[in-house]
Chains A and B, each alone.
Chain A
Amino acid sequence: MKFSYSSTIRPLLRRTIMAVLLGLSVTIGSILPASAQRADIVTLVVPFGAGGGVDTVMRAVAERLSDELGRRVLVENRPGGSTMIAVDYVSRAATDGSIFLIGTPSLSSNFAFQPEIGPGDPRELLDPVIPVATQPYGVILGPALPDEISSIEALLEWAEANPGRLDMVNSGPLTAPRLAAELLSFRTGIPITAISYPSGTEGALDVAGGRVHAGINQIVEAMPQVQAGNLRMIAVTSLERSPVFPDMPTVSETIEDFDVTSWNGMFAPAGTPDAVLDEMNAAMNAVLQDESLHAMFRDQGTEFIGGTREDLANRLNSEIEGWQELDANVDLDLQ
């Protein structure tokens, strides 16, 4: 192999040193309190640790948004408190358009089921900017169920014939997949034992190993085991069929209006001027057209949507009302 210091290593070295310095400055930048940051930096606060699904998506978005705005866009991770720490942090931040929260379905479920904990009603604390992406959950079945079950109807028939037997995995007690299982049980009257895991991947593994019958999972978590033939996905949980998996039926085709979707939306601290919100909405709508972004996350079922500020406000509002209705009718064993 031809090997030359100056042509191979030096540019590499220089690039890496630059990159490390950049990384360092990013880190130091995010350590500084928000007030010390120059206004030409925009911070997107992700309520999870670096490396998660939302974080990965938002880093890709941030890079393109940076080009669109001509300002540096940083992703800041504020994990913890099932996203409440990030919500609290952003809701108290400056309203000058320098900081935004990436909200998730936890915004509505936290408030609907445990209003006494956490910062309060997200509709009052935050101003919606734009819906960013949605992702249906997948209903997965494993070898603990007979092979011929391949639809929601068949699954429900089996559960009726075997009362009290059906177990379904989810990714945590107040997460959308858990609540989706409760909603399924509530709407059909079939008891389902919801089994929580620290992550949906671990849950999917128990389904693939035949220890639990089924699960509601993020598609990216289940996909490797689906590809390996250990799991089968029978439906998605969104209202409409996903353009990413057009052949996959929806749960709502069997149970009318069933809609539990993972989504990410951008929010600003309440009181941010309309002009700032509109400017960001326009920039984000442009960014979300980027075909390379769609291609990057298509396999995981992520669909970049965009839309108006009202679209996001409506989504949040209807979700909160939906969960409040479930909470009023079902004892979820939450205190």
Chain B
Amino acid sequence: MDLFTNIQIGLSNALTATNFFYCLVGVTLGTVVGMIPGIGSIAAISMLLPITFHIEPTAALIMLAGIWYGTSYGGSTASILLNLPGTTASAVACIDGYPMAKNGRAGAALLMTTAASFIGGSIGILLLMLFSPMVAEIGLGLGSPEYFSLMVLGLIAATGISDGSFLKGFAMVMVGIIVGGIGLDMYTAVGRYTFNIPELSDGISLVALAMGLFGVSEIIASARQSQMTLIDKSNFKWKAIFPSTQERKESWLPIFRGAGLGSIMGALPGTGSSIASFMSYAIEKRVAKDPSRFGKGAIEGVVAPEAANNAADQTAFIPTLSLGIPGSATMALMLAALIMHGITPGPQLMTQEPDLFWGVVMSFWIGNILLVILNAPMIGVWVKVLLIPYHLLYPSILVFICIGVYTATYNIFEIWVVIAFGVLGYTLRILHFPVAPLLLGFVLGPLMENHFRRSMLISRGDLMTFIERPISGTILAITAFLLLWIIFSGYRNWRIRIAAQW
């Protein structure tokens, strides 16, 4: 069967009134829950899961998938406007999106992220359509040594993610790795930093950590400001919302770079959109002519990660549907919905259930178009959120964060975790330590450890396994070149600075 037959099958299935309707419900809900800090797609999908048992599997998956990628559109809104990440992947959008909002460019940032999300999503779907069968093969060929090498590359590439002192950034990555180490050891079930508290045996939840570090610390910081900055009403006119020619020009390449990177990261089981958005931010900062603009409202730092996480959201369906490996808890719920209907995702899905597979894939196009239609006209409304007085806005956000974090496990303990990381985030802010590298270390650290130890178990402790295996070796060689380049360009800049001082 060639691609065009598949597209035809898919479209005819996705465009039935029922499936179109569920797609609309999914993306609308996704946008809304994505926007509310703390409540992510997981809460929405677990709520709707019982309903999906009673509708057709294709419609069920279309709706759940719509929620999943819809949250990525909405997720950056709160990041940009309030420095509160709606989802973990959109935490990166805080770094430059929030300064843009402070500079009165909130509207432009939101419009460009919608565009970036759409382009990223589209590229992701295209790749999903073209390469799904092949990626399933590649996925089978990647083992722990490959993943470990890939994460070393990611960590090295991301060293420059934050501003200011390299040492402070490095320290924060280490803190992140330590926090990530909390919980039961993956191989021996020994508790680490758990103090025999059962809640800690699963480790710290990513959502609670991100909400605390970014969201709650921001709220504490602004509560301390005795005088609120007056907002210039002219920022809400259409002219101010529309991105300037320069902003548009600066965005194109980063969007495509982000989408490319995101597509690759999304397709690998176990990496996902959070890592994709962090890495693409780091890359933009590295290739930028003037990296000092980052963190102060650089449009590239907003659009590239957005494109990356939307592309990753789409290609994440490749491992989920073709290998049966969910990249996240949300994906696991979608798998459950299929299994309830007697469909076990795996390498055979595409050939055994072409109607379902291609129907769902083609519904992504419809969903993404619907999301643009939903999001773009609403930007004028969203930016007005900034007009709500802080003493009303922030308490209600805190409530949402608490509900969101609590409903993930129904455990009060999670709220204490949020508070603890809120205080930590605020302290770090006072001391001018960047928090983004902490999040990166937290996500990558445990993954690296697991893959490293598993590689060692399988190779019986032989480190050569990382170099001998061709894919792993190639990735490490690229990493070595990147490291040399970072050192060289650092040395050059240092020489220039020294020369300038003379």
Contacts and interface: CB of A to CB of B under 8 A. Distances in A.
A79 B16 CA distance: 38
B329 A31 contact: no
16 contacts: A3-B17, A22-B50, A27-B47, A31-B406, A49-B329, A51-B336, A85-B411, A88-B198, A172-B189, A173-B188, A195-B454, A196-B187, A198-B450, A206-B144, A211-B143, A224-B324
Contacts of A299: 342, 344
B348 A228 contact: yes
B333 interface: yes
B409 A79 contact: yes
Interface of B: 16-18, 21, 25, 43, 46-51, 53-54, 139-144, 184-191, 196, 198-199, 201-202, 269-270, 323-325, 329, 332-337, 339-340, 342, 344-349, 406-407, 409-411, 450, 454, 457-458
A202 B408 CA distance: 24
A80 B344 contact: no
B47 A26 contact: yes
B47 A24 contact: yes
A187 to B, nearest CB: 22
Contacts, number: 181
Contact of A173 (B43, B50, B185, B407): B185
Nearest to B330: A51
Given A55-B336, A196-B187, A202-B325, A225 B346 contact: yes
Contacts of B198: 80-81, 84-85, 88, 117-118
A232 interface: no
A202 B458 contact: no
A50 B334 CA distance: 10
B458 A198 contact: no
Interface in A11-46: 12-13, 16, 19-20, 22-24, 26-27, 30-31
A59 B53 contact: yes
Interface of A: 1, 3, 8-9, 12-13, 16, 19-20, 22-24, 26-27, 30-31, 49-52, 55-56, 59-60, 63, 76-82, 84-85, 88, 113-114, 117-118, 167, 172-174, 193, 195-199, 201-202, 205-206, 208-209, 211-212, 220-221, 223-225, 227-228, 230, 296, 299-300, 333-335
Given A23-B48, A80-B201, A173-B185, A117 B191 contact: yes
Contacts of B406: 31
Given A227-B348, A299-B344, A335 B188 contact: yes
B140 A224 contact: no
B244 to A, nearest CB: 41
A209 B50 contact: no
A227 B322 CA distance: 12
Given A23-B51, A51-B46, A52-B332, A174 B189 contact: yes
Given A50-B46, A50-B333, A208-B140, A196 B458 contact: no
Contacts of B454: 195-197
Nearest to A226: B346
Given A76-B410, A167-B457, 11 more contacts: A23-B48, A49-B409, A60-B340, A80-B202, A173-B187, A202-B325, A209-B140, A224-B349, A225-B346, A230-B140, A296-B342
Contacts of A173: 184-189
B458 A212 contact: yes
A52 B242 CA distance: 45
A211 B459 CA distance: 10
Contacts of A174: 189
Contacts of A16: 21, 25, 51
